[in-house]
Chains A and B, each alone.
Chain A
Amino acid sequence: MDYSQFLAMKQEIGLLAVFLLVFLYDTFMPRGAQKGLPVFTTVLMLLVTLGGFCSYCMAPGGEVSAFAGMYVTSPVIAAIKNILNIGVVIVLIQSIKWTNSEAMTMRRGEFYELLLVTLFGMYLMISGRHFLLFIIGLESASLPLAAMVALDKNRYESHEAAVKYILTAVFSSAIFMMGLSFVYGLTGSMYFNDIYFALTSQRSLLLVMAVAFVIGGIGFKLSLVPFHLWTADVYQGAPTSVTSYLSVISKGATAFAFLVVLNQVFGALYSQVWEVMLYALIILTITVGNLFAIRQRNMKRFLAFSSISQAGYIMLGVIAGNAMGLAAMMYYILVYIFSNLAAFGVIGAIENATGKVSMDDYKGLYKTNPRLSVAMMLAMFSLAGIPPFAGFFSKFFIFTGAINQGSVAIYVLVLIALINTIVSLYYYLLVVKAMFISDDECVVPNFRSACSERLGLWISVGGILALGIVSYFYNSLLELTGVSEMTAYFIG
């Protein structure tokens, strides 16, 4: 066996090393040193992120495949993993206070180990070019999450959420695999490439159902409507750090995996089959997500529905199917990571300090905690897409990318998405209004949030501002995806 193939998996191996080190630390370090675990993990993860950037800068370019084509990496894929890493680092920083709390003493290690395992699974989902590898990735990115959702052992909602999550996850896996078995039956292969070519001439009811089931299976993790119903309950019940991880990293990774599967496996069916399906899903997702978000009073539930509709916008990048769409999607997810994590950072800080998560508790927050309010406001502005914050540009580019696809239907789709941004503006501004305009006495007293929480917020807010104003980020992504063969390999 040619062991040099492992060199292609630098990022996975780095992550695995982190996992092992964390595991060893958790198992063998004395009780007194256990409080250092969160910082230890965060620093290691930061190193992996930086290492990822370095290896990506030094990469010879072009794609590398290993293990008989089951595993593939390329500068674009490495960049995507780096984007996820950045988000994970922020999540880790934000969760330090929570994992060091009294209740988490016995479960601190689990949180980090499970999180790293799921991240590893996501890497495999993005890099896998064989359905066996893909399913291993998908499962290891889903099942440990259920345990993470249940980490808040003493809270009833946490259990309920975990049960709902695992049942839906198992169900969706079953559906997904049924779809796969159809595909296997039709083509006789599990390699993406073989399936792609085998499907060029086939059109049958079975195939269409297979595509629908595969989309449903992955759509569960993206919480596309109508596969989204678990989202709100789980987001609300899970610990806030897990929720932010679920809503940002898990979703971002799955979006890329979705893009890969649709283009590399079912690329030949684009215009006949799944383009229409995606139209329907996008419209449903954005609209239903928005309509539900309007009514929410619980901040975590509110962000759950907001993230559902955001996933719809991300799907616009999938449907664009061109280099600009890919760049826009990467940029969108990067911006979404910063914006959503800023929002969750504020929510987490307030929840950790006072236990309040209702929007009503945020009334008049500006008077007691002006900095947190401003951070939250920037996050809401960015999520709503108000210039000059990053969210505006990410929406702008993703719409432009979709428009470039060129069909009339896509104009209609973008128009509907645009109308939905107006609706979303309403509910994002509800939060801002509650914080700034309401005259009520605020129930949240002034408090000083932990150092780690503040650091996480500074990074997120800095990202929102920098990504919006500095053109370098988007341009470099566009440059990266603009090299045609890389995009070709990624999209198909």
Chain B
Amino acid sequence: MDVTIPILILAIPLFMFVFLGLTGMKMSHKVAGILGTCGMGTVLVLAYYTAFQYFFSGADIFINGAGERLQYLVFDQTWLQFTENLVIKLGFLLDPISAMMLVVITTISFMVHLYSMGYMRDHHGVYEHGFQRFYAFLSLFSFSMLGLVVAPNIFQMYIFWELVGASSYLLIGFYYTKPSAVSASKKAFIVTRFADLGFLIGILTLSWYTGTFNFTELTSIPVEGMAGVSQVNIGTAEYVRGIFANSAAPTFMGASVLTWALVLIFMGGMGKSAMMPLHIWLPDAMEGPTPVSALIHAATMVVAGVYLVARLFPLYLMEEAALDIIVVVGAVTALYAAMVACTQLDIKRVLAFSTISQIAFMMVSLGVARPEFHHGLGYMASMFHLFTHAMFKALLFLCAGALIHAIGSNNYTEMHGLRKHMPITHVAFLIGCLAIAGIIPFAGFFSKDEILTACFGHSIFWYIWMSAVAGLTAFYMFRLYYLIFWWKEHKTPEGHHAPHDQPWTMTLPLVILSVVSCVAGFVPFGNLVTWNGHPMFESVDFFTNLKALDWSVASISLLVALAAIGLATVMYRKENALPSKMRNALPALWTWCFHRFYFDELYMFITHRIIFGCISRPLAWFDRHVIDGTMDAFATITNKASEVIKPLQSGQIQMYVWYYLVGALLLGGITALCVI
């Protein structure tokens, strides 16, 4: 395969970032926006082409005779060679999940680029301050995210992992004059960095034992006779486990070292994917512009954690304990976030918590996946849900952006009854809600159903738990829907025009994503993305997914969703007393949910009281008095010494030659004394 296109996929966004960053302020807002969007459009085409080639060309570097999909290393360039073994490379790995992610990232990113052309201006069409900077950062993010998903080694992934973190920081804090945005961006950065500490230790542990950073060497075997082609193989993972088991110190504090490494790597994923208890940054990250929330904090960056676990999935299979931890963390997070989402008042916060909950679904799905059960159905379901969720959640966020743009507030108690004024947004939002609630035939139904089936195959307990969360999801989404689009509308104040639908740049992405949310469920994912590339179905047609459904699970989940929607309809279709009655019936639960179980307060207490007070203050004293004192002493000595030797440089040539001669004689003389 030609390397030009893969290189361009990475180079164009990077170039756009540098170009817009350096020269953006010199061009008009519109030109910058169009340039950025066109750049992303080109990447979109190239990425689609690459993914199409990978999935459908049938070339023998992508798929073998048995129909199993292979991993293909398009290029792998040495970047830093420290020693013979310790090499850091930059490359481009094509395999089912990276090809899928290329599609997801470029689609959503392009939609957001387009959408922002309309969103990032006020009602009079005046562009926001820093519009060009916004596009530069969007390009930086796209570059980083693309680099992350195609990374063939864990170190490159880590580099880009930090880069997405940095670009997320820049975009959350885009309105840097707003103190809440600034503190939100800091919070996001610090929390994810803290998680990345674990990630880094995990990476180092893993590569210390195995002596490699490359994913293909950790999870696959090379295919004979074809350079750069390899196939996922459980045997390699077993070999890696063997390395750990036969090492000098196979266990550490009661768990095997491999488990530790995997759990620490998962910790990095927890930070990026906002799993409990590291989820606190994501709701605050909603301070960023809404298109950013759609791109970074719903569709792409936050699923990086899921992607990471999926990348190393064969290794996770080696350690049941690590998978169990993933399931517990995911399940608890899913329930927690769904409960909190039922009580929030800010439309973006509800969507943020919903995102957390949905990502937790994907995590659980990975955690329950086993090769014995339907060829690792959970893995496929997780990736499927990642795909569909990216589409419908981006749709919901972009709708929310349209609403916020029209109303000028995030608080949906100020919205009500908008269905007449904004019909397109209304329909799009409804499609998004139906998709996330899991109503047939929308995208979310299929992917969520696969997840529940996978849970069912693993343990009945987690199946019931996750089904309940799915019900809650339908409930809070429709609560949101009714509160925004139904109820009696607020009077428009004098002098303002009524809210209305948006310009075409904002409408087009909504329409496209709505269509995708309707049909994405029919994509035969089982034949495209599986943990070892092995296809699930003999032959595929449009209704493959429908035929493959486990109807015992599907009908129950459908019933649960419909019941939840019914409940939401009864409670929120019109203004009535039911919600407040319910709140009064369970006051404690409501308060805890509303305050997000006081997590932020807990962290505040820990950082301010314990870390700042008990650790930082003594350290500061030590730093100021002992360390600074020592350094000052060094500086004083250096300064004095330079004062002492000053006369040497007298400016007199006789002296110079004299010192020269003495120097040469001493040099020879002293050496001679030592040597002879």
Q: Tell me, rounded to whole Å, the shortest Cβ–Cβ distance linking A388 to chain B.
A: 11
* Bound Cα distance from A281 to B670, whole angstroms: 13
Residue from the list A203, A220, A471 in contact with B79, Cβ < 8 A: A471
Q: Is the CB of B656 within 8 A of A205?
A: no
* Bound Cα distance from A182 to B674, whole angstroms: 20
B81 within 8 A of A: yes
Report B648-676 CB contacts with A as 1/0, cut-off 8 Å. Answer: 11010101110111111101111110111
Q: Is the CB of A281 within 8 A of B667?
A: yes
Q: Is the CB of A292 within 8 A of B645?
A: yes
Known A227-B660, A273-B675, A291-B642; judge A167-B653 contact (CB<8 A).
Answer: yes
Contacts of A205 in B (CB 8 A): 672, 676
* Bound Cα distance from A294 to B79, whole angstroms: 36
Residue from the list B81, B655, B674 in contact with A229, Cβ < 8 A: B655
Residue from the list B649, B657, B676 in contact with A292, Cβ < 8 A: B649
Supply 4 further A-B pairs (C-beta < 8 A) apart from A229-B656, A295-B642.
A168-B660, A171-B657, A227-B660, A294-B642
Residue from the list A163, A226, A227, A272 in contact with B675, Cβ < 8 A: A272
Q: Is the CB of B676 within 8 A of A471?
A: no
A180 within 8 A of B: no
Q: Is the CB of A291 within 8 A of B645?
A: yes
Q: Is the CB of B80 within 8 A of A471?
A: yes
* Bound Cα distance from A164 to B81, whole angstroms: 46
Q: Is the CB of A208 within 8 A of B676?
A: yes
A259 within 8 A of B: no
A232 within 8 A of B: yes
Q: Is the CB of B657 within 8 A of A277?
A: no
B580 within 8 A of A: no
A360 within 8 A of B: no
* Bound Cα distance from A71 to B47, whole angstroms: 57
A213 within 8 A of B: yes
Contacts of A232 in B (CB 8 A): 649
Residue from the list A164, A227, A475 in contact with B664, Cβ < 8 A: A227
Known A227-B664, A423-B638; judge A295-B646 contact (CB<8 A).
Answer: yes
Within 8 A of A (CB), among B386-406: none
A-B contact pairs, 16 of them (CB 8 A): A167-B653, A171-B657, A171-B660, A172-B660, A208-B668, A208-B676, A212-B669, A216-B660, A216-B663, A225-B663, A226-B659, A227-B664, A229-B649, A276-B671, A280-B667, A471-B80
Q: Tell me, rounded to whole Å, the shortest Cβ–Cβ distance linking B651 to chain A.
A: 6
Q: Is the CB of B638 within 8 A of A294?
A: yes
Closest residue of A by beta carbon distance from B642: A291
Contacts of B635 in A (CB 8 A): 426
A204 within 8 A of B: yes
Q: Tell me, rounded to whole Å, the shortest Cβ–Cβ distance linking A420 to chain B.
A: 10
Q: Which of B79, B655, B664 is most buried by chain A, counting CB atoms within 10 A of its CB? A: B664
Q: Is the CB of A175 within 8 A of B642?
A: no
B639 within 8 A of A: yes
Contacts of B577 in A (CB 8 A): none
Report A144-157 CB contacts with B as 1/0, cut-off 8 Å. Answer: 00000000000000
Q: Is the CB of A229 within 8 A of B648?
A: yes
Q: Is the CB of B645 within 8 A of A277?
A: no
Contacts of B653 in A (CB 8 A): 163-164, 167-168, 230
A122 within 8 A of B: no
Within 8 A of B (CB), among A457-492: 471, 475
* Bound Cα distance from A272 to B676, whole angstroms: 9
Q: Is the CB of A213 within 8 A of B664?
A: yes
Contacts of B126 in A (CB 8 A): none
Q: Tell me, rounded to whole Å, the shortest Cβ–Cβ distance linking A476 to chain B.
A: 12
Closest residue of A by beta carbon distance from B654: A167
Within 8 A of B (CB), among A209-245: 209, 211-213, 215-216, 220, 225-227, 229-230, 232-233
Report A178-220 CB contacts with B as 1/0, cut-off 8 Å. Answer: 0000000000000000000000000111001101110110001
B246 within 8 A of A: no
Within 8 A of A (CB), among B313-366: none
Closest residue of B by beta carbon distance from A229: B656
Q: Is the CB of B668 within 8 A of A211?
A: yes
Known A226-B659, A423-B638, A475-B81; judge A212-B668 contact (CB<8 A).
Answer: yes
Contacts of B663 in A (CB 8 A): 216, 225-227
A353 within 8 A of B: no
B641 within 8 A of A: yes
Known A208-B676, A229-B660; judge A273-B671 contact (CB<8 A).
Answer: yes
Closest residue of B by beta carbon distance from A305: B649
